[in-house]
Structure 1
Amino acid sequence: MVETTYTHISGTDGLPLRVLRIEPTDPGSIRGTVQMVHGKNEHKGRYAQFMRYLAANGYLTICNDHRGHGESVHRPQDRGYMYEGGYKALVEDVHEITLEVKDYAHKRCGGKALPMILLGHSMGSLAARCYIRKYDDEIDKLLLIGSPSKSKNIKQGLMMLRSLEHIEGKRVRSKLADLLIIGVNYEFRFRKEGLKNAWTNSEREAVIEHNNDPLCRFRFTLSGYEEMLKMSMLTYSGGYTPKNPHMPIRFFSGANDPCAISKERFIGALHLLKKIGYTNVRGKMYNGMRHDILHEKEKHKVYCDILKAIEER
């Protein structure tokens, strides 16, 4: 397979976005394109193993570092800040790269039409559902993993963040915001394990590896949290008519993922998309798994299920 890293210049504000592309060596073997949309405090490199798995099965794969993540920053200290464009620019970045990779795949495969699949994890699943409000006709299938369910406290959270921003500034990294958004909702449930981010994975070594990754160790700014909550609010607001209503949508979640909140809330996310007008929506939960199902001990099960969903006709 061929691995390429390059820079895409955001059409929104000129921010250089770093992109990883992994593809089969033989263009004739390419069966489709899969675009990854990563989560909060992540980067494209965390998807490389899964991208190689898909490439070995005939798929051209691509993932960019979101603005304010990984190498998509003007300065390392900007990680956790999405710049003035915020979440809207992040979603537009994803769409620009969709168009770019579709054009690349079209040329690489001699004009052959290929299915385009979008896969969003965690915060990336929110970005992906904001994306389909405008661009669902640009993709053939949507896969969502580690999806945060609808929270009843988003408005209060936004009010709190804006109050702190008024006092301290948008770029400040607040321990109070960390506690109220991540600590109370996610960390607290697994506090007895004595390991930061234990909520993300039942495999202790995987959590430690994640914690030690220098591109994952930054803290979100108040503005970064605000943009994430605004994405969540838009995700669960409905209010649009699908252009691609028969597009297959598949949810995958760990049964012990605090982002899912509960099985009922997880199912509620599926029902909302059906209510909006999507006719082919299904989901699956994995017993014993937490949030980061692509890095769990039994991740091969998730890999296989996602591949099946991609190949489903």
Structure 2
Amino acid sequence: MQRGFTIQSKVDGLMLDGLVVEPEEGVQRTALLQLSHGMSEYKERYLPFMEFMAEHGIVCVIHDHRGHGKSVKSEQDLGFMYGAGGAGLVEDLFQVTVWAKKEYPDLPFILMGHSMGSLVVRTYAKEHDRELDALIVCGSPSKNYLRPLGAAVGHAEAAVLGDEHRSNLLEAMSFGSFAARFADEKSRFAWCCSDPEVVREYEENPLCGFTFSDDAFFALNDLLKETYGFHGWHCTNRKLPVLFLSGGDDPCYVNVRRFKKSIDHMRLIGYRNVRGKLYPGMRHEILNEKEKYRVYGDVWKWLKREKVVENVEGGSTPPQTSDGVPAGSSGV
């Protein structure tokens, strides 16, 4: 069961457009899951995952980040964040959390972010981990050691062309190597998913794949800096279960060593229950891959194992291996 909602951002008054997927009537509600989507996409792309979770009793909430989907003042503003920076994205996310917890009180709260959204949720956790019963980090970018160079380029461009300038240069610096890895597939978005149909739909959808403004790249740079820094983490919830998930062929995490470093960063901060999984053959958008239900099933099983949710009768059953472990994954 779906319903929409809107919230006026406390940052600057921007209207944030949101979506809730609830379990059907009669299905026990076991948890509240808030999602934070990635760069240059929109909330409805997460509906299959949200519907799966709702079948298993989890209320799912998501909003379009500012500059995405319907959280814009005009279509021309896609990719522009109105000067709010990374802090504005985090504040918007927390504001939706407060709303969702009032609407659905007394449920365990799970926060999950994909790609850029994974940076938002970890920056959120720096101050608000006491709100969380579980944190899921999906398709995470590894620490970017060239981030200061990108920031300098962005500020130079913005000084001449303005914050709303669409930066093809920063886009190429950020994602050119990702596309090059799959150059024989003739789509600059092939790195996102191994399913050609998903890539085609992404390319053809005006709400996807748009170029960020310098202003939005500033926000992305803020998030990378905050996520991988050690300053400012309160770490009041040291036993918080944290799960990292990425596709084995996702260029965003760079390599297994860097993926492990992202996980170890959370451990060094003080979180004691952090683990990760890579999915061989999958690319960046593991929630949209052909074998996506294996990922969905892994998330559900992990939440049960960590005792965040209770078992709910019915719902989709994820593919199993002979030993009862969801197929197609490898632990890190």
Q: TM-score band (shorter)?
A: over 0.9
CA distance in 2, matches of 1:226, 1:255: 28
CA distance in 1, matches of 2:303, 2:34: 12
* Structure 1 residue 25, shift from structure 2 partner: 2.9
CA distance in 1, matches of 2:281, 2:172: 25
* Structure 1 residue 191, shift from structure 2 partner: 1.3
Could you tell me which residue of structure 1 aligns to residue 2 of structure 2? 3
Q: What pairs up with 1:94-113 in 2 under 5 angstroms?
A: 94-106=93-105, 113=106
1:230-259 CA-to-partner distances (Å, cap 9, x unmatched) read 101110002223011110000000011011
1:290 paired to 2:283 = yes
Residue identity opposite 2:20 in structure 1:
R
* Structure 1 residue 27, shift from structure 2 partner: 6.7
Which stretch of structure 1 is more off in the superposition, 282-291 or 210-219? 210-219
CA distance in 1, matches of 2:261, 2:209: 32
Q: What pairs up with 1:233-252 in 2 under 5 angstroms?
A: 233-239=225-231, 240-252=233-245
- Report the 3-state secondary structure (helix = DSSP H, G, I; strand = E; otherwise coil) of the residue aligned with 1:259: helix
Could you tell me which residue of structure 2 aligns to residue 215 of structure 1? 207
Residue identity opposite 2:188 in structure 1:
K
CA distance in 2, matches of 1:31, 1:19: 21
CA distance in 1, matches of 2:160, 2:10: 32
* Structure 1 residue 28, shift from structure 2 partner: 6.3
1:270-310 CA-to-partner distances (Å, cap 9, x unmatched) read 10100000000000000001100000011111010011122
* Structure 1 residue 87, shift from structure 2 partner: 1.6
- Report the 3-state secondary structure (helix = DSSP H, G, I; strand = E; otherwise coil) of the residue aligned with 1:291: coil
CA distance in 1, matches of 2:215, 2:243: 30
Picking from 192, 199, 207, the partner of 1:200 is 192
- Report the 3-state secondary structure (helix = DSSP H, G, I; strand = E; otherwise coil) of the residue aligned with 1:77: helix
* Structure 1 residue 119, shift from structure 2 partner: 0.5
Could you tell me which residue of structure 2 aligns to residue 152 of structure 1? 145
Percent of aligned pairs with the same amino acid: 38
Could you tell me which residue of structure 2 aligns to residue 41 of structure 1? 40
- Structure 2 vs 1, CA of residues 223 and 95 (structure 1 numbering), >3 Å: closer, same or farther? same
Could you tell me which residue of structure 2 aligns to residue 229 of structure 1? 221
Could you tell me which residue of structure 2 aligns to residue 110 of structure 1? none
1:125-169 CA-to-partner distances (Å, cap 9, x unmatched) read 000010001100011100011000111111111111111111211
CA distance in 2, matches of 1:22, 1:28: 13
Number of positions where the alignment pairs a residue of Structure 1 with one of Structure 2: 305
- Report the 3-state secondary structure (helix = DSSP H, G, I; strand = E; otherwise coil) of the residue aligned with 1:142: strand
Residue identity opposite 1:80 in structure 2:
G
Residue identity opposite 1:4 in structure 2:
R
Could you tell me which residue of structure 2 aligns to residue 115 of structure 1? 108
CA distance in 2, matches of 1:42, 1:299: 18
CA distance in 1, matches of 2:59, 2:136: 16
1:97-132 CA-to-partner distances (Å, cap 9, x unmatched) read 1111111112xxxxxx21100000000000001000
Runs of 5+ consecutive residues of structure 2 not aligned to the other structure? 308-332
CA distance in 2, matches of 1:288, 1:25: 34
Q: What pairs up with 1:263-278 in 2 under 5 angstroms?
A: 263-278=256-271
CA distance in 1, matches of 2:145, 2:293: 34
CA distance in 2, matches of 1:81, 1:27: 42
CA distance in 2, matches of 1:292, 1:277: 29
CA distance in 1, matches of 2:23, 2:280: 33
- Report the 3-state secondary structure (helix = DSSP H, G, I; strand = E; otherwise coil) of the residue aligned with 2:129: helix
Residue identity opposite 2:33 in structure 1:
V
Which stretch of structure 1 is more off in the superposition, 91-100 or 174-183? 174-183
TM-score, structure 2 as length reference: 0.90
1:65-99 CA-to-partner distances (Å, cap 9, x unmatched) read 00000000011111101112222111011001111
CA distance in 1, matches of 2:147, 2:209: 25
CA distance in 2, matches of 1:174, 1:225: 8
Q: What pairs up with 1:157-168 in 2 under 5 angstroms?
A: 157-168=150-161
Judge conservation of contact 2:24–2:55 (CA < 8 Å) in 1: no
- Structure 2 vs 1, CA of residues 28 and 194 (structure 1 numbering), >3 Å: closer, same or farther? closer
* Structure 1 residue 212, shift from structure 2 partner: 1.4
Judge conservation of contact 1:117–1:310 (CA < 8 Å) in 2: no
- Report the 3-state secondary structure (helix = DSSP H, G, I; strand = E; otherwise coil) of the residue aligned with 1:29: coil
Could you tell me which residue of structure 1 aligns to residue 126 of structure 2? 133
Residue identity opposite 1:10 in structure 2:
S
